[in-house]
Structure 1
Amino acid sequence: MSTLEEPRAEGVRDLYPFLYESRADVESVLAQACRSTEEKAAEIVRLRWQVAEASADALMECAEEMALRFASGGRLFAFGNGGSSTDAQEMATAFLHPPYGLSLPALSLTSDVAVVTALSNDVGFDVVFARQLAALGRHGDIAVGLSTSGGSANVVQAFEEATRRGMLTIGLTGEQGGRLAELDLLDYLFAVPSSSVHRIQEAQTTVYHVLWELTQHALGAVPDS
């Protein structure tokens, strides 16, 4: 038996309640950790299947629209906050530096720290993506915003700017789509039916990688199997 110090972060208690016992058998803790991992893995697999079944046709159509814009010289701009920021960077990298197929022009609006901090400090964080699209975006480009809640003000304002500029607008959110769904701004909205930020972001990763691969197929860069 060993005594475990109680973690301070309250959020961890809900995820791993077995770590909060004052005295715990190491083997028992490990067994519960394994079960927790298996349950979370099974949950994300279920979510991915749910998204695939609900959005298969929309994903195909969206990728074809993206391919048309890339073929006409369009560029992809991705954006989001926190974990969604890193996903935006990964998505842009997947399109710009793919493991195979065509390299497609893509930029994450969260990558330039100087621009992000200047806009946040001098104007306001709510316009940090919209101002960049106002400067860089043009008709025929693609705007992809990621928000687990669908309510991030700077993501909403970015889509408003993208719509004004005639860009293809694609949102990745959780649950029912939040404010983005209510505003009816987007050409495509892919909502992951979960309240867990972790599971939503994991499923969103699959969504944008599927969009990348389908776009490559639509451009004829990858032979159909």
Structure 2
Amino acid sequence: MSERPGDSMESLYPFLYSGATDLEAVLTSVRASTVEKANEIVALRRAVLERDGDRLAACAWAMAGAFSRGARLFAFGNGGSSTDAQDVAALFLHPGAGARPLPAFALTADVAVVTALANDIGFEVVFARQIAASGRPGDIAFGLSTSGNSRNLIAAFREADRRGMVTVGLAGYDGGQMAELGTIDHLFVVPSTSVHRIQEAQTTVYHALWELTQDALAGSTYAGTSRGW
């Protein structure tokens, strides 16, 4: 039997469909739903940290090494992940007082370029063509997807790999095609089927990567290791 249009919304926000007219009952349901979602993301972030903590540190060292050799970071994603890609670029480029600004660009930011490529060639190339035009060996390709199956991200990572770039990927679910590629240097998969929780956890991941990269560039030590370039 097919799902009715309201069914998926009801599963997400049951308090809106309960038929309750008692305001206090509705507020109680809202509070319970909010607490449940907050607990979910806290547990998910903890699970990602416990599983990938060492790999996050290794990725940050690699990114710091690349930046120290003049690398630039190119971030990309679709939909909500395009907003995250722009946040990644802004975070590295304009981190605020006391942190080192690093060259970073969002491939989603130039609407004229994105729409020209999508219209004239196809949406699958909107990131790969920009990487082909601007990417250099040693630069960083940083792609975000909730499903891991976005075809334009797969094309971009393939182009970045051909050009000898450092590749960093953030995905959800089981990693999808991004995990199957086998050529992404640093892939972090958030084990969830909720797009909302995936994106919330991915935000934590890239902020942690930024902070660890800043520490590495400043000559800090962590995990008992000190490295320099």
Match of 1:124 among 119, 122, 125: 122
Structure 2 partner of 1:15: 12
TM-score (norm 1): 0.93
Instruction: State the match for 1:163 in structure 2.
Output: 161
Say which of 47, 53, 57 aligns to 1:56: 53
Q: Does 1:25 align with 2:22?
A: yes
Query: What secondary structure does 1:24 align onto?
Result: coil
Letter in 1 for 2:16: L
Partner of 2:192: 194
Alignment of 1:1-225 (within 5 A): 10-99=7-96, 100-220=98-218
% of aligned pairs identical? 62
Counterpart CA distance in 2 for 1:134 and 1:158 is 9
Three-state SS of the structure 2 residue aligned to 1:191 is: strand
Q: Secondary structure at the match of 1:134?
A: helix
Alpha-carbon separation, structure 2, partners of 1:216 and 1:57: 16
- Which secondary structure does the structure 1 equivalent of 2:149 belong to? coil
* Residue 75 of structure 1: how far off its partner (Å): 0.4
Q: How far is 1:21 from its partner? A: 2.8
Q: CA separation in 2, counterparts of 1:213 and 1:138?
A: 24
Unaligned runs of 5+ in 2: 223-229
**Does the Cα contact within 8 Å between 1:101 and 1:222 map onto a contact in 2?**
no
SS in 2 for 1:140: coil
Letter paired with 1:151: N
1:30–1:88: structure 2 CA closer, same or farther, 3 Å change rule? same
Measured in 2, the distance between the counterparts of 1:88 and 1:11 equals 28
SS at match of 2:218: coil
Mapped to 2, the partners of 1:165 and 1:9 lie a distance apart of 47
Q: Distance in 2 between matches of 1:188 and 1:142?
A: 11
Deviations 1:92-118 (A, max 9, x none): 000000023100000000000000100
Measure how far apart 1:11 and its partner are: 3.5
RMSD over aligned Cα atoms: 1.4
- Partner Cα distance (2:220, 2:85) in 1: 23
Larger displacement relative to structure 2 (21-30 or 41-50) = 21-30
TM (norm. structure 2) is 0.91
Q: Offset at 1:190? A: 0.3
Query: Following the alignment from structure 1 to structure 2, what is the Cα–Cα distance between the partners of residues 9 and 168?
Result: 44
